[in-house]
Chain A
Amino acid sequence: MTTVYVPGDSAARAVGADEVALALESEAALRGLPVTVVRNGSRGMHWLEPFVEVVTGDGRVGYGPVRPDDVAGLLEAGLLDGGEHPLRQGPVERIEWLAGQQRVTFARVGVVDPLSTSDYEAHGGLVGLRAALAMAPSDVVAAVTDSGLRGRGGAGFPAGIKWRTVADAPSSVKFVCANADEGDSGTFADRMLMEGDPFTLIEGMVIAAYAVGAGEGYVYIRSEYPDAVRTMRRAIGAAAAAGWLGADILGSGFSFDLQVRVGAGAYICGEETAMLDSIEGKRGMVRAKPPLPAIAGLFGRPTVINNVLTLATVPAVVAQGAEAYAASGVGRSRGTQVFQLAGNVARGGIVETAFGVSLAELVEGYGGGTASGRPVKAVQVGGPLGAYVPASAMDVAMGYEELAAIGAMLGHGGVVVFDDTADMGQQARFAMEFCAEESCGKCTPCRIGAVRGVEVIDRILVGPPERRADELVVLEDLCELMAEGSLCAMGGLTPNPVRSVIRHFPGELGAPLVAPAAPGETGTP
């Protein structure tokens, strides 16, 4: 019996992986070839999806992108023995794009059967949890603090300090929440991890709960991720059956229950306090802080809220030790980051590597430039609230402080590439339009400011040219008001993409008309 892996990841299914899996089963049966098809997660090489892997004596050999009508030819070419074919990519572990990465959080994604508890343990699963349960809870918090692990949701707050606050808060009821409301365009790492290696998230949440003394947890997943919801629910069931959740976990005496909650199409619920309101059954409105959720969070109780990637990194941090994790990275950004290459890029997907890699290396090196073959014009880093970085600034090192120094932000690690046909004035307008659509409405700068922002940008783009300079003053004033006066990051960061367009692409957002330089003058002010 030969094992063939065909990803069940949404990105693979979106480009025909289900049909390929069906074709493999039926064509193999037709030829009397014994084949077991396993639906794994995706390796993250999305330009090769559907990416089919065959287990051979020489390890796993990959083929892609495979279409359903390629399957018969592949079988004829000896697919099951790793035979030659134009789609053959070679032994998967030796594909340069993957071999150059440092996979920590994503170590098992694409490798294992996502819902097999035995596969999980065979690939290093539970090592972190077993180690944690043998430690005092405060030592687990210390290990996470010492590793330098920072929140992967975007804010970059040190995870260990947040955990310490919850651990010290006196309460008989505490919660751990995984924020899986991954709404930023250009980000899909949470989704891929939940679909490809859900037990890692569960393990991380149990460790967090043990460290702070929480008994219940929630994974809040956006409704736009139906596959992730399904996989997470099944994984929680399998984990409970294996004794990894519920009462007396792994015989430690520690108990923790976990359930999935599904969002309902509101981007703002990715903001942690809006997420808490949503889990409580309310409109997803942002709360004023203080009190911090770590003191008074879900149902008013001390609550750890971390992003999926933060929690999914915890098992590796505990298993390897804080020092090993902190050994890679740049500045105060320690460890690895799961970068997501998306948009107009030739080789899109997941690049997990140490912080400090340059944006150019991601876009031009891993990404291979644009998919259209045209020059890169701008790269939006960190989702809809992130700045557009011009091609000329792509030598920036990818770290929290390093990006902040050029007016950009890392966010959740999304990297969206635009070629030279992009209309940056329209991209600036979209930032305001998106904020107007998704604002929770609690604070005025965001609720009204975003609507006014669309109006001002429209006047700049299509209004009388002689008014543009004045309108730009209004727009900058509005950006300042939103940035300084909004209750949360939604209104507060929406000016980021807008200001980046004004700064780096002034000609596209109604540059004030200046008299052309006289011949012979350099024109430099």
Chain B
Amino acid sequence: MGAVRAWSPERAGEVIAEHAGVRGPLLPVLHALQEEFGYLHPDAVPLVAKALNLSRADVHGVITFYSDFRTQPPGRRTVAVCRGEACQSRGGRDLAAHAQQRLGVPFGATTPDGEVTLDQVFCLGLCSVAPAALVDGRVHGRLDAGALDSLVQP
């Protein structure tokens, strides 16, 4: 993952303009904003709505439908543990429970110190090297509790 910038309405306007020209621009625009700032700032909603001639409700509805879009800044590091059936067959349930216990937060939450955001993901397509997780945007397979811990350690 690249470095993210602090929220800036001016920069947001530029990002929106870069992606507004395609057919059906809303998802590409939201992805680009999240990549730029790490999350979708509440002030982004009216900016996007105005630029794309949508209602704020439309934009809000799309942001809340898709689990990728964050409305809070993520932790410095991100961990997503796969919960799919193939990973379950190789101890994925235990790994998912371990990750939540070890970090002390449920899926979808960030540790109180702002260090790690823990998410669940339903399949990374690494089903033949299960169980798998995505740590800071990098794929890892054949994991167990110890291997996941060493990846999450700074």
Q: Are B86 and A343 touching (Cβ within 8 A)?
A: yes
Contact of B71 with A by CB under 8 A: no
Known: A14-B141, A185-B84, A226-B137. A264 touches B31 (CB 8 A): yes
User: In the assembled complex, which residues on chain A have CB atoms less than 8 Å from the CB atom of B90?
Assistant: 343-344, 371
Q: Are B24 and A299 in contact (CB under 8 A)?
A: yes
Q: Smallest Cβ distance from A27 to chain B, in angstroms?
A: 23
Partner among B27, B122, B130, B137 whose Cβ is within 8 Å of the Cβ of A342: B130
Known contacts A342-B130, A416-B86: A283-B25 contact under CB 8 Å: no
A267 at the interface (CB under 8 A from B): yes
- Report A373 CB to chain B, min CB distance, Å: 13
Q: Please tell me if A293 contacts chain B, counting CB pairs below 8 Å.
A: no
Interface residues of B in 93-130 (CB under 8 A from A): 93, 121-130
Q: Which residues of chain B are near A183, meaning CB under 8 Å?
A: 122-123
A427 neighbours in B (Cβ, 8 Å): 85, 88
Instruction: Say whether A188 contacts B24, CB under 8 Å.
Output: no
B75 close to chain A: CB less than 8 A? no
A490 within 8 A of B: no
- Is there contact, CB below 8 Å, between B139 and A10? yes
Instruction: Determine the chain B residues whose CB is within 8 A of the CB of A280 once the complex forms.
Output: 23-24
- Shortest Cβ distance from B93 into A: residue: A426
Q: How far is the CA of A301 from the CA of B123 in the complex (A)?
A: 32
Could you tell me the distance in whole angstroms from the C-beta of B132 to the nearest C-beta in chain A? 6
Q: Which residues of A contact B69 (CB under 8 A)?
A: 264
Cross-chain contact A14 with B85 (CB below 8 angstroms): no
Nearest residue, chain A, Cβ from B131: A343
In the complex, B67 has a CB within 8 A of chain A: yes
Q: A344-B90, A427-B85 are in contact. Are A188 and B139 (CB under 8 A)?
A: no
CB pair A380–B85 under 8 Å, yes or no, is yes
Quick check: B141 and A15 within 8 Å, CB to CB? yes
Given known pairs A281-B25, A380-B85, the reply for A11 and B129 (CB within 8 Å) is: yes
Q: Closest A-chain residue to B119, C-beta based?
A: A265
Taking the complex as formed, is B68 at the interface, i.e. its CB lies under 8 A from any CB of chain A?
yes
B151 to chain A: closest CB distance in Å? 11
What's the nearest-Cβ distance from chain A to residue B118, in Å? 15
B27: contacting residue among A261, A345, A437, CB under 8 A: A261
* Interface status of A430 (Cβ within 8 A of chain B): yes
Q: Closest residue of chain B to A268, judged by CB?
A: B65
Q: Are B31's CB and A13's CB within 8 A? A: no
Q: With A265-B68, A299-B23, A299-B24 as given contacts, are A224 and B89 in contact (CB-CB < 8 Å)?
A: no
State whether the Cβ of A279 lies closer than 8 Å to any Cβ in chain B.
Answer: yes
Most buried by A among B30, B125, B134: B125
Tell yes or no: A312 within 8 A of B by CB.
Answer: no
Q: Taking chain A's interface residues, is the majority helix, strand, or loop, or is none over half, making it mixed? A: mixed
B28 CB within 8 Å of chain A: yes
Q: Which of B26, B27, B68, B127 contacts A340 (CB 8 A)?
A: B127
A481 to chain B, nearest CB (A): 24
For window 98-124 of A, CB contacts with B under 8 Å fall at: none
Q: State the CA gap A316–B27 with chains docked (Å).
A: 34
What is the bound-complex CA distance between A223 and B68, given in angstroms?
8
Number of interface residues of A (CB under 8 A): 61
Query: Are the C-beta atoms of A283 and B61 separated by less than 8 Å?
Result: yes
Q: Which of A32-40, A417-425, A501-509 contacts B (4 or more CB under 8 A)?
A: A417-425
- Asked if A188 meets B67 with Cβ closer than 8 Å, knowing A264-B27, A278-B27, A430-B85, the reply is no
Contact of A185 with B127 in the complex, beta carbons under 8 Å: yes
Q: In the bound complex, do residue A186 and residue B86 qualify as a contact, i.e. CB atoms below 8 Å apart? A: yes
Complex Cα distance, B39 from A447, in Å, reads: 28
Q: Contacts A183-B122, A299-B24, A438-B122: A419 and B89 contacting too (C-beta < 8 A)?
A: yes
Q: Are B88 and A430 in touch, CB under 8 angstroms?
A: yes
CB distance from A42 to the nearest CB of B (A): 9
B23 touches A422 (CB 8 A): no
In the assembled complex, the Cα of A186 lies from the Cα of B86 at a distance in Å of: 5
The residue in chain B whose Cβ has the minimal distance to the Cβ of A349 is: B128
- Candidates A11, A282, A340, A343; contact of B89 at CB < 8 Å: A343
Q: What distance in Å separates the Cβ of A287 from its nearest Cβ neighbour in chain B?
A: 15
Q: How far is the CB of B40 from chain A (nearest CB, A)?
A: 11
Contacting residues, chain A, for B122 (C-beta < 8 A): 183, 185, 267, 384, 434, 437-438
Q: In whole angstroms, what is the CA distance A264 to B132 when docked?
A: 19
B51 contacts partner chain A, Cβ-Cβ < 8 Å? no
* Least CB distance, A258 to chain B, in whole angstroms: 13
A349 CA to B27 CA in the complex, in Å?
A: 33
Contacting pair B129 A15 (CB below 8 A): yes
Among B30, B31, B126, B128: residue with most chain A CB under 10 A:
B128
Expressed in whole angstroms, the minimum distance between the Cβ of A338 and any Cβ of chain B is 13
Cβ-neighbour of A46 out of B25, B62, B129 (below 8 A): B129
Contact partner, A225, options B28, B84, B125, Cβ 8 Å = B125
Per the bound structure, the CA–CA distance linking A114 and B134 in Å amounts to 23
Of the A-B pairs whose beta carbons lie under 8 Å apart in the complex, a sample of 28, sorted by A's number, is A11-B126, A14-B126, A14-B129, A14-B139, A15-B142, A47-B128, A185-B123, A186-B86, A186-B127, A188-B126, A223-B31, A224-B134, A225-B124, A259-B22, A264-B27, A265-B66, A265-B121, A278-B27, A283-B61, A340-B127, A342-B86, A342-B127, A343-B89, A343-B130, A348-B127, A384-B85, A422-B89, A427-B88
- Chain A contact residues, CB within 8 Å of chain B: 10-11, 13-15, 46-47, 49, 182-188, 190-191, 223-227, 259, 261-267, 278-284, 299, 340-345, 348-349, 371, 380, 384, 414, 416-419, 422, 426-427, 430, 434, 437-438
Which 3 pairs across A and B sit closest by C-beta, in order of nearness?
Answer: A185-B84, A281-B26, A348-B128
